[in-house]
C-alpha cells in the first residue's frame, strides 16, 4: 500500500470518528447552560393559575450522579384544592424514557424509569425513590383535572413551548404523549434506589440558574440520585402535575459508565469499522518500515 493511500485512509477513519462525536453532541436536545440541560416551559399555560404553573426543568449529569430541578408555582407538598379527592393537588412523578418508543408505548411495555420525589402525591409507588420497569397511570380524575391531553388543549391552553422547549408544539405533544389520558404517576414498577432532596442553596452551588432564562418560579425543587440507578443513552424526561394542568419535558443523553481499566470494549458499528481501519493502517506502516530497514 502506498504511503499516500495510507494517509488518506488515516484521514478518512479519523474524520469518521470526529463526525460521530459531533453528531452525537448534535443529537442531544435541550439547552445546555453551565452543565445543566434545561427545558423551559411556557409561562402562561398552567390552567388554574400560578399555583399550577411549571416554568422549567433542568437535569445535570456528573460522573456518578444525576441532578434534577423543577421550578414553578407548585410546592413540593402540593396546594389545597377542594375538588381533589384528598383536597390536595401536587406534582406527579418524573419519567425517563430511554427507548425509541413513544411515551405510551414505552409505558405499555413497562420500559420506563420513574422517580417519585413528592411523598404526598397520589403515586402508586410505595415510597419516594427511583423505579425501573415502570408502567405509568393517571390520577387526573381524582384531582379535578383533565381526562385527556386533548381536553387540555381543547380548553385553549395551546402555547409555544407547551411542554417545554423540547416538546414545543401541540403536534409534538400528541406525537410523543398521545391525545388520550395524561399518564402522570407511577402505576407499577420495581424500586431500585433512593433519592436525596436538595436545598435551593445546594442546587445553586451545583450551578443551577433558572434566572438565566427568566424562568425562576416561586418554588424550586431539586434532588439527586446515583447515576447507576437509571439507564443510559438518549432519553426524554417528562412530568405533569397531578391534575394535568401543566407539564414539561427535557430531551438529552446520559453517558454510559466508563469501563474498568482492564476492560476494553469491542468495537461495533461505524466506530468499530473506523477503529479497525486505524489498526490496519498502523500495521501497514509498521510493515513498510520493516521492509525499508531490510532493504537498507
Counting residues of the chain whose pLDDT is more than 90, the rounded percentage is 70
pLDDT higher than threshold 60 for residue 174: yes
Q: What average pLDDT does this structure show over 138-161?
A: 94
Asked if residues 132 and 214 have their Cβ atoms less than 8 Å apart, the reply is no
Tell whether 72 and 52 lie within a shared domain.
yes
**Does residue 260 fall inside a structural domain?**
no
Place 260 in a pLDDT band, splitting at 50, 70 and 90. Answer: low
Tell whether 142 and 103 lie within a shared domain.
yes
pLDDT higher for 18 or 170?
170
Q: What is the pLDDT of residue 275?
A: 46
**Does residue 103 fall inside a structural domain?**
yes
Range from 69-73, 116-120, 284-288 carrying the lowest mean pLDDT: 284-288
pLDDT digits (tens, 9 = 90+) for 55-110: 999 999 999 999 999 999 999 999 999 999 999 999 999 999 999 999 999 999 99
C-alpha cell at 132: 425501573
Tell whether 125 and 233 lie within a shared domain.
yes
Place 159 in a pLDDT band, splitting at 50, 70 and 90. Answer: confident
Tell whether 107 and 50 lie within a shared domain.
yes
Kindly report the average pLDDT of the chain as a whole number: 83
pLDDT digits (tens, 9 = 90+) for 1-51: 433 343 333 333 333 333 333 323 333 466 899 999 999 998 888 888 889
Q: What is the pLDDT of residue 45?
A: 81
Using CA atoms, how far apart are residues 223 and 199, in angstroms rounded to an integer?
Answer: 8
Q: What is the pLDDT of residue 42?
A: 87
Tell whether 44 and 126 lie within a shared domain.
yes
Tell whether 155 and 273 lie within a shared domain.
no
Tell whether 132 and 40 lie within a shared domain.
yes
Domain limits at 142?
34-254
Q: What average pLDDT does this structure show over 267-287?
A: 47
Q: What average pLDDT does this structure show over 171-199?
A: 97
Tell whether 88 and 190 lie within a shared domain.
yes
Counting residues of the chain whose pLDDT is more than 70, the rounded percentage is 77
Q: What average pLDDT does this structure show over 270-276?
A: 47
Using CA atoms, how far apart are residues 237 and 59, in angstroms rounded to an integer?
Answer: 9
**Does residue 230 fall inside a structural domain?**
yes
Q: 248 pairs with which residues across the strands? A: 239
Tell whether 214 and 172 lie within a shared domain.
yes
pLDDT digits (tens, 9 = 90+) for 204-244: 999 999 999 999 999 999 999 999 999 999 999 999 999 99
Tell whether 146 and 179 lie within a shared domain.
yes
**Does residue 28 fall inside a structural domain?**
no
**Does residue 181 fall inside a structural domain?**
yes
**Does residue 70 fall inside a structural domain?**
yes
Q: 226 pairs with which residues across the strands? A: 65
**Does residue 149 fall inside a structural domain?**
yes
Tell whether 156 and 196 lie within a shared domain.
yes
pLDDT higher for 46 or 179?
179
pLDDT digits (tens, 9 = 90+) for 124-146: 999 999 999 999 999 999 999 99
Q: Where are the beta strands (DSSP E) in the chain?
A: 31-33, 36-40, 54-61, 65-72, 79-80, 88-89, 94-97, 112-116, 129-137, 185-193, 196-198, 219-226, 233-240, 247-254
Place 149 in a pLDDT band, splitting at 50, 70 and 90. Answer: very high
> Could you report how far apart the first and last alpha carbons of the chain are, in Å?
19
Asked if residues 30 and 248 have their Cβ atoms less than 8 Å apart, the reply is no
Query: Structural domain tally of the chain?
Result: 2
Tell whether 282 and 220 lie within a shared domain.
no
**Does residue 167 fall inside a structural domain?**
yes
Q: What angle do CA 125, 80, 138 make, to 5 degrees?
A: 35
Amino acid at each position: 500500500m502506498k504511503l499516500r493511500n495510507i494517509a488518506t485512509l488515516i484521514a478518512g477513519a479519523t474524520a469518521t470518528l470526529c463526525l460521530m462525536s459531533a453528531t452525537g453532541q448534535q443529537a442531544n436536545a435541550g439547552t445546555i447552560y453551565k452543565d445543566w440541560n434545561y427545558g423551559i416551559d411556557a409561562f402562561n399555560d398552567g390552567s388554574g393559575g400560578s399555583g399550577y404553573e411549571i416554568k422549567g426543568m433542568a437535569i445535570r449529569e456528573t460522573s456518578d450522579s444525576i441532578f434534577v430541578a423543577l421550578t414553578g408555582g407548585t410546592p413540593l407538598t402540593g396546594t389545597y384544592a377542594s375538588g381533589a379527592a384528598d383536597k390536595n393537588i401536587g406534582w406527579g412523578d418524573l419519567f425517563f424514557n430511554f427507548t425509541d418508543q413513544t411515551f405510551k408505548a414505552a409505558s405499555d411495555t413497562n420500559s420506563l424509569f420513574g422517580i417519585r420525589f413528592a411523598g404526598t402525591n397520589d403515586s402508586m409507588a410505595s415510597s419516594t425513590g427511583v423505579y425501573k420497569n415502570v408502567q405509568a397511570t393517571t390520577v387526573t380524575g381524582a384531582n379535578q383535572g383533565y381526562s385527556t391531553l386533548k381536553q387540555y388543549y381543547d380548553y385553549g391552553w395551546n402555547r409555544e413551548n407547551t411542554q417545554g422547549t423540547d416538546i414545543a408544539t401541540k403536534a409534538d405533544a400528541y406525537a410523543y404523549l398521545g391525545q388520550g389520558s395524561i399518564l402522570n404517576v407511577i402505576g407499577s414498577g420495581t424500586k431500585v434506589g433512593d433519592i436525596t432532596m436538595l436545598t435551593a442553596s445546594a442546587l445553586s452551588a451545583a450551578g443551577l440558574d433558572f434566572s438565566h432564562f427568566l424562568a425562576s418560579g416561586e418554588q424550586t425543587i431539586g434532588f439527586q440520585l446515583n447515576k447507576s440507578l437509571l439507564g443510559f443513552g438518549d432519553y426524554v424526561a417528562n412530568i405533569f402535575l397531578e391534575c394535568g394542568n401543566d407539564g414539561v419535558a427535557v430531551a438529552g443523553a446520559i453517558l454510559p459508565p466508563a469501563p474498568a481499566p482492564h476492560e476494553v470494549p469491542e468495537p461495533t458499528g461505524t466506530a468499530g469499522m473506523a477503529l479497525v481501519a486505524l489498526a490496519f493502517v498502523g500495521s501497514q506502516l509498521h510493515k513498510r518500515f520493516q521492509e525499508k530497514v531490510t532493504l537498507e
